[in-house]
Structure 1
Amino acid sequence: MKQKKKSKKKIVIWSIVGLLAAFFVTGAIFKPKEVDASEKEKAIIGDITTYYSFSGAVEAKNRKTITSNAPMQIEEIKVHVGDQVKSGDVLIVTKQGDKIKASIDGEISKLDVEENTEVMSGAPLIEIVDYSVLQTTVKVDEYDLKYLNVGKEVEVTLNALEKVIKGTVSAISKEATYENGVSYFTATIDLVHDNAIKVGMSTEAKILKQRAIGVTTLSMKAIQFDSKNKSYVLIPSEKGAPTKKYIQIGINDGTTSEIKSGLKAGEEVVIANQENNPAAMMHGGNE
Structure 2
Amino acid sequence: MAAKTKHKKRKWLLWCLFGLVIAAIAGAVVFMPKGTGAFQSEIAETGDITTYHLFPGTIDTKNREIVISDKPMEICEVKVKQGDVVKKGEVLFVSTLGEEIKSSIDGEVTQIRIKENAQVRAGIEMISIVDYVNFKANVKVDEFSHKYLKIDQKIKVAINALGKELAGTITAISKEARNENGVSYFIAAIDLEKDEGLRIGMSTEAKLVKEEAVEVTTLPMEVILFDKENQPYVLLPSEEGEPIEESITTGINDGMKVEVKSGVTAGDEVMRALDEEGLLQELFWRR
Give the TM-score taking structure 1 as reference length.
0.84
How many residue pairs align between the two structures?
271
SS of 2:123's partner is coil
Q: In the alignment, what sits opposite 2:195? A: 194
Further displaced range: 269-278 or 93-102: 269-278
CA apart distance, 1:95 = 2.7
Q: In 2, distance between residues paired with 1:272 and 1:46?
A: 23
1:91 and 2:88 are equivalent in the alignment: no
Q: 1:87 to 1:272 in 2, by over 3 A?
A: same
For residue 122 of structure 1, give the secondary structure of its aligned residue in structure 2. coil
Q: What is the CA distance between 1:130 and its match in structure 2? A: 2.3
Any stretches of 5+ residues in structure 1 without a counterpart?
A: 279-287
* Aligned pairs for 1:89-168 within 5 A: 89-168=90-169
What SS does the aligned partner of 1:146 have? helix
Partner residue, 1:36: 38
Preserved CA contact (<8 Å) 1:235 1:244:
yes
Q: Give, in angstroms, the shift of residue 193 of structure 1.
A: 1.6
Query: 1:21 aligns to what?
Result: 18
Distance 2:257 2:45 in 1: 11
Q: Structure 2: which 5+ runs fail to align?
A: 281-287
Q: Note closer, same or farther for the CA distance 1:17–1:68 as it changes in structure 2 (3 Å cut).
A: closer
Contact 2:45 2:218 survives alignment (8 Å): yes
- Residue 74 (structure 2) pairs with residue 73 (structure 1): yes
CA–CA distance in structure 2, aligned partners of residues 22 and 124 of structure 1:
83
Partner Cα distance (1:181, 1:157) in 2: 27
Q: CA RMSD for the aligned pairs?
A: 2.7
Tell me: CA distance 1:90–1:26, structure 2 relative to 1, closer, same or farther (3 Å).
farther
**Partner residue of 1:171?**
172
Name the residue aligned to 2:225. 224
| Contact 1:112-1:124 at 8 Å conserved across structures | yes
The answer to whether the 8 A contact 2:38-2:275 is kept is no
Match of 1:247 in 2: 248
Deviation at 1:275, TM superposition (A): 5.1
Aligned AA for 1:203? T
Sort the Cα spacing of 1:14 and 1:204 in 2 relative to 1 into closer, same or farther, 3 A.
closer
Contact 1:221 1:274 survives alignment (8 Å): no
**How far, CA to CA, are the matches of 1:170 and 1:181 in structure 2?**
27
Residue 82 of structure 1 corresponds to: 83
Q: Matches of 1:52 and 1:196 in 2, distance apart?
A: 25
Distance 1:137 1:275, change over 3 A: farther
Distance change (3 Å), C-alpha of 1:240 and 1:52: same
1:117 deviates by 2.4
Q: Which amino acid aligns with 2:21?
A: F
The TM-score normalised by the length of structure 2 is 0.84
Q: CA deviation at 1:262?
A: 1.3
* Aligned partner of residue 243 in structure 2, secondary structure: strand
Measure, in 1, the Cα distance between the counterparts of 2:228 and 2:128.
63
Q: Which amino acid aligns with 2:213?
A: A
The alpha-carbon deviation at position 159 of structure 1 amounts to 1.3
Name the structure 2 match of 1:238: 239
Residues 249 and 261 in structure 1, CA contact (< 8 A), matched pair in contact too: yes
State percent identity of aligned pairs.
45
Provide Cα deviations, 1:27-49, integer angstroms capped at 9, x if missing partner: 53796596313x11011111111
